[in-house]
Every structure is written in structure tokens, then in C-alpha cells.
Structure 1
Amino acid sequence: MARKIGSRYTAHQILGRGSVGTVWLGEGPDGPVAIKLLREDLASDQELVGRFVQERTALLGLDHPHVVTVRDLVVDGNDLALVMDLVRGTDLRTRLDRERRLAPEAAVAIVADVADGLAAAHAEGVVHRDVKPENILLDMEGPLGPGGAHPALLTDFGVAKLIDSPRRTRATKIIGTPDYLAPEMVEGLPPRASVDIYALATVLYELLAGFTPFGGGHPGAVLRRHVTETVVPLPGIPEELWQLLVQCLAKAPASRLRASELAARLREQLPSLAGLPPLDVDEPYAEQGEPGAAPEDEPEPEEPRERVRRGAVPLVRGSAPDSNRDTHTSMRVPAPDELAGGALGTARAPRAAGAPRPGSARHRSAARRRRIGIGAAAAVLVAAAGVGTWAATTGDDADATPQDTKNSAPESP
């Protein structure tokens, strides 16, 4: 059913839903558009409407081939909407759901496109604040790039900033998607351009591995890992690409590359990645004792079970895990003692494909077999040593004279 959005646009069909609002396929004076209609409770917030109007110039000024252009901002009664270019394609989350992970060349080409878009936005003083696969669109009508990658465009610029008003969050809330939040945001510091670099590096890790480096389990555990854990290497990843990832996932914002530098470095590596297959690694499971961990006595199935994707964690109860999972939802900033609750150290290492899950029945069984094998080997060695000692002793006694035997006895005190 069509509905009017302001005086110039008509929304015809719902393309997707999220925690902030609904995206519609619409029509404007210049042809088809995408219309992001914010929730009614947000539209009724006068402070947010004021910020919406204030951000108009900055959002309309972003013009880059790898940024979805915002054409208009509509404030009309209970309607608050962003009118954007319509991209004929899908989002990156949908592709990940279908393929689980990408070949390194395609993954790097997509992320380089997004880094170019971020560089243009950062040059205008605009920070995205919610870079993730759901907000990266793939233009299926554009020319194929390295690794057969479709051109990538970053969308939803400004939405996180609009929702994150001082009255709404104060200094005790954070807004975003846990898997992609930079450590400084978890600690309550104001977001700067470097938070987008951290999130984009997390996306690249996810494209290569099929899971995020610190995700899994309760959102609070995810936030703590961003602050306390370091990422471990992915088996099979080229060393130069890995070092680039490590630098952009640094805990200190100043250690990360700028968006333009990241884009250039990624494109430099594309020739060396040509033809490399997707990585063959298994996702690490939550550690025992963490929310979301598998029960300790859960048997390891002989046949591969259906995997539950561990992408961004929805923050709204009952939300559907689709390509528009909840995003701009506020959470309480963890206290320092909560962030320090986990041991400082390295994040759980991805398992080699087919390796048993730590703590599982198959893992414990393998450990028992190793212990039995080691114990049996030790028993054989002890027995062999005893036989050798007996043989050496009896051999000496056979050759000894009575005097020799007498002289071998301890002297009387």
C-alpha cells in the first residue's frame, strides 16, 4: 500500500526493517529512491527532530561513488525520513549469510571500497559510527572488481549520530552493534574517525573468517573482549594482510591507520591475493563459564551440525536475525571493574577445520587417549629400564670373584 512521505515522495514497498525504522522502495521527482522512515517514537522526539534538521547540510554534502547519497531529509508531521539513492543489489550481510566467508581478494576489494567512502566522509568531519555488513550495499549493476567483487557502498551515514542525542544517552549509554564497537566507545569516550577504522577492520576479519574476532555470547561479554583481549592470527592469512588487520584493530585509536591509508594499503595487496581460496577455519566457541558457552557435558556429534551464525548480537529482545538486525540501541557503559572482569590475554583462537571444540566430549576423549598413550609409553620405558638394570647387575655379579663381592659390601662402622 502506497503512502505519501512529505509532499514530494511516495513509498510503495517495504524493503527491510530495523530497530530505527523501515526502508521503503519509493518514488520521487527524479525517479526511484530508497526511503528510510524512522520510528514514530523517534519522530515525536523534538530534540531529535532538531538535530535531524541541523545535520541536513552535512548529510546532503556527502557525495562519493562508495557512499549511498542522501538526497533529502523529510520532516512532515509524524514522518521523519531520509531519502537516499536506490542501490540495485543486496547488503553484505546477505552475501555472508549465503557464502559464510569470502576469498581474500574479494573481501579486500570490498573493504577498500568502503575505506574510500569513509575517507571522503572523514574529510568532511562526518563519522559513520555503525560500520557493519548490514550497512554495506553491493551494487549488482556495477562493474565487477578484483575477485569478482561488486562495487560496495556505505549507507546509513548520520543515523547513529541522530539517534545518539545527549538527552537520550548522556554519558552512561553507548549506541551501536556490539561486535563492531571500538574499545574507546565501550569505555564511554566520544567517537572519532578511528572508531570507523576499527569497525571496518572487524568487517574485514569477518569476511575472511566467517565470524567476528570478539563476538559470541552475551553482549556484555562481547564488549569486555573488545577492551581486554587481543586478536589472534587466522590460519592461512597472508602475513602482510594480517599485520594490516592488527594495526587497524589496535586498542589505541592513534595506532590505527586513517581511512585513505587503509584503502591504499589494501589495494596494494590485491595482486598478491589473486586466486587465493577462502580460509578454512572453524569458529571458536564461547569459553566454559561464559554466557552462550556450550554445556561441558554436551556430546560432540559425529555428523556436522547446522552452524548458528555468530554475527552481530541483536540488542532488542525478540528481534529477527535478518539483514536489518537491530543496531542503534543504547546499552549501559560497563563500569571499569566490569571491563576488567575477564583475564587480560589473547582472544580465543579459531580452530583448524574439523578440530574438536575445547571442553567437548570428543575433545576430552582425545585428551584421555593422549594421557593413556603417554602413561602406557611411560610404563614401557620404566619396565625397559628395570630389565636393563637387572641385566647389568646380574652380569656384573656373574663375572665377579668372591673377594670382589665382599669388597662391594658396605663397610661396618
Structure 2
Amino acid sequence: MARKIGSRYTANQILGRGSAGTVWLGEGPDGPVAIKLLREDLACDQELVGRFVQERTALLGLEHPNIVTVRDLVVDGNDLALVMDLVRGTDLRTRLERERRLAPEAAVAIVADVADALAAAHAAGVVHRDVKPENVLLDMQGPLGPGGAHPALLTDFGVAKLIDSPRRTRATKIIGTPDYLAPEIVEGLPPRAAVDIYALATVLYELLAGFTPFGGGHPGAVLRRHVTETVVPLPGIPEELWQLLVQCLAKAPASRLRASELAARLREQLPMLAGMPPLDVDEPDLSEEAAEESVPSAPQDEPVRRRGAVSLVPGAKPDSNRDTHTSMRVPGPDELAGGAHGTARVPRAPGTPRPGSARHKAAVRRRRVTLGVAGVVVAAVVAVGAWLASSGGDEDRPAPATHSTSAP
């Protein structure tokens, strides 16, 4: 059923629902638009409405070929809405779920587009704060780029910041999706431009591997890994591209590249990636990790979820447009300090057991038994050799003199 949004727009059809609100296919004075209508409880929050108005100029000023343009911000009664350009295509999450992982050339081309979008936003003083595949739209009507990649556009600028008001989050909440959160956010520091670089590098890793570097299992465990674990190399990835990923996934924000630098460096990689097939990488076994982290694994009759992103709310069903602007608790120092031994999801060549898994532990035990038996054999040989050597030496050595006493 159609509904009016302000005096200039009509929302005709729901495209998707998320935790922050509903996305509609709408009509405006200049033609079709996408309308993100925020939830009523958000619209009734006067503090958020004030922030909404304050952000209006910054959001309307963001114009770039790789950014979904915000045309208008509407505040009308209980309606709080962002009116955006309508992109004819799909989101990157949908493509990733369909193809599992992308060829390196296509993955790098898409991420380079998003890096260009971030460079423009950061230059305007805007931090996205929620870069993830769900917020990257692929324009199916645009020209194909390297690796057959459609042009990528970054959307949902400003939504995370609007919802992240001090009264809603205070000091115990954070905004974002666990798999893509930079360590400094987990530790409670204010988000700067570097958090977007970390998230985008995580997206690139996921496009190449089929899973995120620190994802899987309980959200608290995911947050801990961001702070305590080191990313492990992907088998088959070119060294230059890997070093670029490592730099942008650095724990220290100052060590990461700027968005413009990242875009340029990625495009330099494209010629050497031409024709390279998707990486052949075994995905981590989340059921094993759940057992190791004392987190209950999925029931036997339910399939184990192997995709990177995890729900912020345990047991929540995924939204149709996968919008996850939901607050969650920041783990305490004791939680962050615990479980930092081997909890990172380690990519490996096919058939190779993951370090710390049950298969890996069994292999280690077998090696230890083999080494133990070999050690006993070596010790026995050494002992026999020593005995033979001592026996042979006694034949050539004169008998020791004996002293006896007799009674007078």
C-alpha cells in the first residue's frame, strides 16, 4: 500500500526490512527513488531528530560516482526518512552468497571502487562506520570493469552515526557488525576514518576467502579476536596483495593506508590478477571452534552456518536487506584477555587440518607417539653401543690391584 513521505515523495513498495527501518521503492519529483524509512521509535527520539537535521548538509553534500547519493532527508511527524538514488542491481552480500568467493581480479576491482567512495567521504569529514557487503550495491546497468565486476556503490552513509547517540549507546554499547569492527571501536575509542579502512580490508578478505578473518561463533568471541588475534595468510594469494591486506588490517589505526592510497594500490594489482581463478581455501569448521570456545554448537539437525557475518542478537533471523545497525555490549578487559590462544580462524590449503582443531590435535598426538617410539629406539641403540664399547675396553685394561689383610 502506497504512503506519502513528506510532501514530495510516495513510498510504493517495500524492498527490504532491517533493524533500523524499512527500505521502500518510491517516487519523487525527479523519478524513482529509494526511501529508507527509520523505525517509529527512532523518529520519536528528539535527540536523534536533532542529529538528523545536523547531518543533513554533510550527507546531501556527498556526491561521487561510487556513493549512493542522498537526495533528501525528511522529517514529517513520525516519519524520519533518507531519500536516495535508486540503484538497479543487487548488494555484494547477495553475490557473495551465490558465488561463495570471487576471483581476485573482480574482488579487488569492487573494493577499489569502495575505497574511492571512502576517499571522497573522508575528504568531506564523513566516516561511514558500517562498511560491509550488505552496504555495497552493484549497479547491474553500469559498464563491466576488470574481472567482469559491475560498478560498486557504497550506501547507508550516516545511518550508524545517526543511531549512535550517546543516550542510546552510552559507554557500554557499540554500533556496527562484529565481523567488520576495527579493534579501536571494540576498545571504546572514537571512530575515525581508519575504521572504514579496516572494515573494507575485512570485506576484501571475505571476497577472496569466502569468510571473514575473525568471524564465526559467538559475537563476543569475534570482538575479542579483532583485538587479540593476528590474521593468517591465505594460501595462493599474491604476496603484494597480501601485504596490502595485512597493512590495512593492522591493529594500530595509524599503520593503515588512507582510502585514496588503498584505491591506487589496489588498481596497481589488477594487471597481475587478470585470469586468476578464485582461491581454493577450506572454510573453518565452526562446530569445532564452538566446542573449543565453550560455545554450544549448532544442533545436529541444523546446518552449520559458514558465512562470515554473524547476527548481533543470538537467535535473530536475518533481515531481508541484512541491515544490522544494532547496539551490543562492549566486552570487559577480562573477556578481551581470555581465549586469545589460537582462536583466530586459520585459512589453509584444502585437506590440511586447522591448527587447534580435533583433526589437528589428533595428528599432533600421532606425531608425538611416533617421536616417542623413535626416541626409545635411539636411546636403546645408544645404550647397547655404550655397553659394547665398555665391554671391549675391559679386555685390554689390567685388572685393578686388591689389598688384603691377614691376621698376624
Q: Given that residues 281 and 347 in structure 2 are in contact (C-alpha distance below 8 angstroms), is that contact kept between their aligned partners in structure 1?
A: yes
Give per-residue Cα distances to partners, 1:59-91, cap 9 Å, x unaligned: 111110000011111112211111111111111
Relative distance call for 1:148 and 1:359 in structure 2 (3 A) is same
Relative distance call for 1:333 and 1:377 in structure 2 (3 A) is closer
Q: Given that residues 164 and 175 in structure 1 are in contact (C-alpha distance below 8 angstroms), is that contact kept between their aligned partners in structure 2?
A: yes
TM-score by length of 1: 0.87
Give per-residue Cα distances to partners, 1:19-54, cap 9 Å, x unaligned: 101111112221111111111111111111111111
Whether 2:351 is the aligned partner of 1:354: answer: yes
Give per-residue Cα distances to partners, 1:257-292, cap 9 Å, x unaligned: 111111001001111111111111223342754154
Counterpart residue number, 2:37: 37
**In the aligned structure 2, how far is the partner of 1:409 from the partner of 1:237?**
73
Q: Given that residues 314 and 326 in structure 1 are in contact (C-alpha distance below 8 angstroms), is that contact kept between their aligned partners in structure 2?
A: no
Q: Given that residues 218 and 295 in structure 2 are in contact (C-alpha distance below 8 angstroms), is that contact kept between their aligned partners in structure 1?
A: yes
> Helix, strand or coil for the counterpart of 2:35?
strand
Q: Which amino acid aligns with 2:121?
A: A
Counterpart residue number, 1:26: 26
**In the aligned structure 1, how far is the partner of 2:115 from the partner of 2:18?**
24
Give per-residue Cα distances to partners, 1:220-255, cap 9 Å, x unaligned: 121121112221211111111111111111111111
**In the aligned structure 1, how far is the partner of 2:328 from the partner of 2:57?**
29
Counterpart residue number, 2:96: 96
Shift of 1:170: 2.3
> Runs of 5+ in structure 1 lacking a partner?
300-304, 398-403
> Runs of 5+ in structure 2 lacking a partner?
404-408
TM-score by length of 2: 0.88
Whether 2:293 is the aligned partner of 1:290: answer: yes
Which of 340-349 and 40-49 deviates more? 340-349
**In the aligned structure 2, how far is the partner of 1:183 from the partner of 1:222?**
11
**In the aligned structure 1, how far is the partner of 2:303 from the partner of 2:329?**
33
> Helix, strand or coil for the counterpart of 2:84?
strand
Relative distance call for 1:66 and 1:282 in structure 2 (3 A) is same
**In the aligned structure 2, how far is the partner of 1:377 from the partner of 1:31?**
79
Counterpart residue number, 1:175: 175
Aligned match for 2:395, one of 394, 405, 411: 405
**In the aligned structure 2, how far is the partner of 1:258 from the partner of 1:93?**
24
Counterpart residue number, 1:203: 203
Q: Given that residues 52 and 162 in structure 1 are in contact (C-alpha distance below 8 angstroms), is that contact kept between their aligned partners in structure 2?
A: yes
**In the aligned structure 1, how far is the partner of 2:284 from the partner of 2:399?**
64
**In the aligned structure 1, how far is the partner of 2:163 from the partner of 2:401?**
94
The 5 Å alignment of 1:12-23 reads 12-23=12-23
Counterpart residue number, 1:79: 79
**In the aligned structure 1, how far is the partner of 2:12 from the partner of 2:384?**
90
> Helix, strand or coil for the counterpart of 1:55?
helix
Q: Given that residues 228 and 343 in structure 1 are in contact (C-alpha distance below 8 angstroms), is that contact kept between their aligned partners in structure 2?
A: yes
Shift of 1:172: 2.8
Relative distance call for 1:17 and 1:410 in structure 2 (3 A) is farther
Q: Which amino acid aligns with 1:144?
A: L
Q: Given that residues 195 and 253 in structure 2 are in contact (C-alpha distance below 8 angstroms), is that contact kept between their aligned partners in structure 1?
A: yes
**In the aligned structure 2, how far is the partner of 1:310 from the partner of 1:252?**
27
Whether 2:194 is the aligned partner of 1:194: answer: yes
**In the aligned structure 1, how far is the partner of 2:330 from the partner of 2:282?**
31
**In the aligned structure 1, how far is the partner of 2:325 from the partner of 2:238?**
34
Counterpart residue number, 2:309: 312
Counterpart residue number, 1:4: 4
Counterpart residue number, 2:338: 341
Relative distance call for 1:389 and 1:24 in structure 2 (3 A) is same
Counterpart residue number, 2:137: 137
The 5 Å alignment of 1:108-187 reads 108-187=108-187
> Helix, strand or coil for the counterpart of 1:138?
strand
Counterpart residue number, 2:252: 252
Relative distance call for 1:412 and 1:152 in structure 2 (3 A) is farther
Identity %: 83
RMSD (Å), alpha carbons: 2.8
Counterpart residue number, 1:330: 327
Whether 2:212 is the aligned partner of 1:215: answer: no
Shift of 1:339: 2.2
Shift of 1:8: 1.8
**In the aligned structure 2, how far is the partner of 1:306 from the partner of 1:326?**
23
Q: Which amino acid aligns with 1:104?
A: P
Query: What count of residue pairs does the alignment treat as equivalent?
Result: 399
Counterpart residue number, 2:406: none
Shift of 1:182: 0.9
Q: Which amino acid aligns with 2:293?
A: E
Counterpart residue number, 1:302: none
Which of 285-294 and 275-284 deviates more? 285-294
